[in-house]
Amino acid sequence: MGVKYQQKYRVPYYESDLTGKMKLPSLFNVALQISGEQSTSLNRSDVYIKSFGLSWIVTEYLVDFNRLPAFNEAITVETEAISYNKFFCYRLFTFKDENNQVILTIHSTWCLINLETRKPAHIPDEIVAPYQAEKVRTIQRTEKIKPLEDSHDMLYQVRFLDLDANQHVNNSKYIDWMIDGLGYEFLVGHTPKSIHLKYVKEVYYGKKVKSRIYQDDLISYHEIVSDGLNAQAVFEWSRNEV
């Protein structure tokens, strides 16, 4: 197990949806912010990583919800780099309420890419040493997400504000595109129980993106496609109590 880092956070109005719950894309943005703060505190900031010609990217999220944080709720976000191997680093995020009860957890998988070639790079021990994560030989395998055979589709244009400092579409934007097609009535009446999200290929400025959705009652299947498959996900939902 690695070094833990935590920050208190109060959910602001602009990160809350019309039901008074924290927006799904905002959860991922806050998690990335906290992990960045830990890296900076350990002298492993983005600037340091880029001195190697490298950058971290997330390749996969596994999220389990007890509930969503609420508007103006004071929460604590804790993160820890748990383990790593030659190709991947595994980081846990835990969101807790004021009574230290777990609201949700995010298991994430990261890799380093070469900024010039945009291809994955081996993880140098010296980069991850301050996190005190366990070095392992095994690669964690998760369930494969099957390609969609049937779907209804929505089209989007990648805009300037969709991009992050790596000059590709921000991770949270994929969530936005994916759930948008579920529609008002469904999203008002349901809360996510779990998310399995895999990033396959980056999306860049100016691209046209297709969000493909297939829904089977409380399970929704998603793909983001531009020039080939960019991301895929499976959401499990629960009905809100009336």
Same-domain status, 157 and 136? no
Same domain, 177 and 67: no
Q: Of 142, 174, 207, which marks where a domain is finished?
A: 142
Residue 78 and residue 198 in one domain: no
Biggest CA-to-CA distance, the chain = 53
Instruction: State the pLDDT at residue 241.
Output: 84
Last residue of a domain, one of 142, 168, 195: 142
| pLDDT at residue 5 in the model | 98
Query: Residues 4, 122: one domain?
Result: yes
Per-block mean pLDDT, blocks of 10 residues, the chain (242 long): 95 96 97 97 96 95 98 98 97 98 98 93 96 95 93 96 88 95 96 98 94 96 96 97 76
CATH code at position 224: 3.10.129.10
For 203-229, how does the pLDDT look when each residue is reduced to its tens digit (9 = 90+)? 999 999 999 999 999 999 999 999 899
pTM as predicted: 0.96
Judge if 74 and 164 occupy the same domain. Answer: no
Question: 42: domain range?
Answer: 1-142
Q: Report the pLDDT value the prediction gives residue 62, as an integer from 0 to 100.
A: 98
Asked if residue 233 and residue 220 are part of one domain, the reply reads: yes
Name the domain count of the chain.
2
Identify whether residues 105 and 203 lie together within a single domain. Answer: no
Distance CA 130, CA 84 (A): 13
Residues 180 and 91 in one domain: no
For residues 30 and 76, membership in a common domain is answered with yes
- Over the stretch 49-60, which tens digit does the pLDDT of each residue have? 999 999 999 999
102 and 172 belong to one structural domain: no
Q: Are residues 131 and 170 in the same domain?
A: no
Same structural domain, 129 and 171: no
Q: What is the structure's pLDDT at 46?
A: 94
The domain boundary, picked from 119, 142, 165, lies at 142
